[in-house]
Amino acid sequence: MRPVDRSRAERRGRTAELVAALFMMMKGYRPLAWRLKTARGEIDLIMKSGRRIVFVEVKTRAEIDLGLASITPFKAQRMFDAARLWIGRNARDLGADYRFDILVVSAYHWPRHIENAFGAELW
């Protein structure tokens, strides 16, 4: 097994997040935050459309199904905890509808956007 090249993986992740943000913007969303890091977890993108605020986990994998399978319950819980912190700091959006999405970026494929992928069981 090859050692992980951290800088290459970081570049790949940033590129995937850029592709994901542009894809979401083409769908009518506007970015509110990018690469939000908290003590409880991190969120790749926070996007807004109307009253809906979407917390987006971006995955880049060789195959789309591998990206979907990489979201573990532990990862979902950390993302949820980070979202709660963000909501607490951004009280002006308390009347919003919140959702957790997954966007998988894979070479030679359109990004796959899974809306409302998880979260209802965590609220």
74-94 burial, b at 16+ Cβ within 10 Å, e below that, comes to eebebbbbbbbebbeeeeebe
Q: Give the whole-angstrom CA distance, residue 117 versus residue 17.
A: 18
pLDDT for the residue 52:
93
Domain ranges of the chain: 6-118
pLDDT for the residue 5:
76
52, two tokens: 């809906």
pLDDT for the residue 101:
93
**Is residue 104 within 8 Å of residue 61, measured between CB atoms?**
yes
Q: Give the whole-angstrom CA distance, residue 60 versus residue 67.
A: 6
Prediction pTM value: 0.86
Helix, strand, or coil (residue 61): coil
- Per-residue tens of pLDDT for the chain, all 123 residues: 566 677 887 888 888 899 999 999 999 999 999 999 988 889 999 999 999 999 999 988 776 676 667 778 888 889 999 999 999 888 676 788 899 999 998 878 888 898 988 765 554
Q: Does domain 6-118 have CATH number 3.40.50.300?
A: no
Rg (CA), the chain: 14
Q: What are phi and psi of 17, to 5 degrees?
A: -65, -35
